[in-house]
């Protein structure tokens, strides 16, 4: 298991500059959170590739900028938008493959969506098939205020799809949804391929690791016991720290844990 930093942690710093900061800090594992459509242009991807090569960064995953619109674009009853979304995901899978990333992370549909769980899973599998053409897998993330923030929906996905239900697990989203991260991870460990990590307390549900009281040693031991083979990315918001250096200090503490 490798531990790294998501470019999302440096938002609203521009994506290419965020990756540059991560590289300059000596971080060898990251994920790219795209923030606008212009960042999908070939010239922009070339900039990211140059930075990746310059600092020898392993890019594990990509996060589409359309995540807030996925319920409208992918999981509505207007099929033409859905087919357009398949083309968009094909493009993201091409980009992910160029960057060496294995995963595209999806927020998915809202809880008030009109599709049944079975129909939702059919759309999800269509996205996976589109991305698979470039050797990339689509992961459903457990995001609050989205359908997959509900443990019952995650269970339904696993019941319907079995091993084809593949997840990105986010600690802060688990806390926001009222679930203990360790228990949620353990239940879905066989389906979890990627993790977003952060710390939390009574005062805040998202801060840097070691700024609150979460037991990261115990969590990593759990991952090991469950034979987790994915990576863990620090993903926090800008109000979780003052200086970028705090992110990288937190990362070093995580890497120094024995697990």
Domain of 81, in residue numbers:
3-255
Angle at 62 between CA 200 and CA 95, to 5 degrees: 170
| Residues 225-250, mean pLDDT to the nearest whole number | 97
| Per-residue pLDDT at 152 | 98
Mean pLDDT of 209-234: 96
- Decide: helix, strand or coil at residue 211: coil
Higher pLDDT, 202 or 21: 21
Helices (DSSP H) in the chain: which residue ranges?
Answer: 15-24, 42-55, 70-73, 79-99, 117-132, 151-161, 171-176, 181-188, 216-225, 244-255
Whether residue 113 is predicted with pLDDT greater than 90 in this model: the reply is no
- Note whether 66 and 73 are within 8 A (CB): yes
What phi and psi, each to the nearest 5 degrees, are found at residue 111?
A: -60, -25
Mean pLDDT over the full length of the chain: 96
Sign of the Cα torsion 240, 245, 248, 252 reads: negative
Residue recorded with tokens 């203990």: 180
Integer-rounded Cα Rg, in Å, for the chain is 17
Q: Which of 63-72, 154-163, 203-212, 219-228 has the lowest mean pLDDT?
A: 63-72
When mean pLDDT is compared across 22-26, 74-78, 116-120, 255-259, the lowest value belongs to 255-259
| pLDDT value at residue 67 | 77
**Count of CA atoms in the C-beta half-sphere (13 A) of 233:** 32
The model's confidence at residue 251, banded by pLDDT at 50, 70 and 90, is very high
Does the pLDDT of residue 259 top 80, yes or no? no
For the entire predicted model, the pTM comes to 0.96
What's the whole-number mean pLDDT along residues 6-10?
A: 98
Tens-place pLDDT, residues 15-32: 999 999 999 999 999 999
Token look-up 């357009």 returns 84
For residue 3, give the H/E element and its range: strand 3-6
| pLDDT above 90 (res 258) | no
Residue 240: half-sphere exposure toward Cβ, Cα within 13 Å: 30
3-state secondary structure of 175: helix
CATH code of residue 46: 3.20.20.150
3-state secondary structure of 13: coil
Candidates 207, 233, 198; CA nearest to 60 is 233
Q: Quick one: which of 185, 193, 252 has its CA closest to 220?
A: 185
Within a 10 A sphere around the Cβ of 239, how many other Cβ atoms?
Answer: 9
**Could you tell me which residues come within 8 angstroms of residue 5 by beta carbon, excluding any fewer than 6 positions away?**
22, 25, 27, 29, 30, 233, 234, 247, 248, 251
Count: domains in the chain: 1
């Amino acid at each position: 298991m490798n531990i790294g930093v998501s470019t999302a942690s440096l938002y609203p710093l521009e994506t290419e500059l965020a990756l540059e900061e991560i590289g300059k800090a000596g971080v060898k594992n990251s994920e790219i959170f795209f923030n606008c459509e212009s960042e999908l242009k070939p010239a922009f991807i070339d900039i990211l590739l140059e930075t990746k090569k310059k600092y020898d960064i392993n890019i594990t995953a990509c996060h589409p900028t359309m995540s807030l619109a996925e319920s409208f674009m992918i999981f509505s009853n207007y099929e033409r938008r859905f087919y357009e979304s398949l083309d968009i995901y094909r493009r993201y899978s091409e980009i992910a493959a160029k960057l060496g990333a294995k995963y595209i992370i999806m927020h998915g549909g809202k809880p008030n969506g009109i599709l049944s769980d079975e129909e939702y899973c059919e759309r999800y599998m269509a996205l996976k098939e589109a991305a698979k053409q470039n050797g990339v897998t689509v992961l459903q993330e457990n995001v609050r205020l989205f359908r997959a923030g509900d443990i019952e929906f995650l269970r339904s996905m696993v019941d319907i799809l079995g091993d084809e239900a593949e997840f990105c697990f986010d600690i802060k989203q688990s806390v926001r949804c009222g679930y203990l991260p360790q228990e949620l991870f353990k239940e879905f460990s066989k389906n979890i391929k990627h993790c977003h990590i952060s710390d939390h307390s009574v005062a805040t549900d998202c801060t840097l690791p070691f700024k609150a009281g979460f037991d990261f040693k115990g969590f990593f031991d759990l991952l090991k016991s469950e034979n987790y083979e994915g990576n863990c990315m620090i993903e926090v918001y800008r109000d979780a720290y003052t200086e970028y250096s705090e992110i990288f200090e937190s990362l070093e503490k995580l890497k120094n844990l024995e697990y």
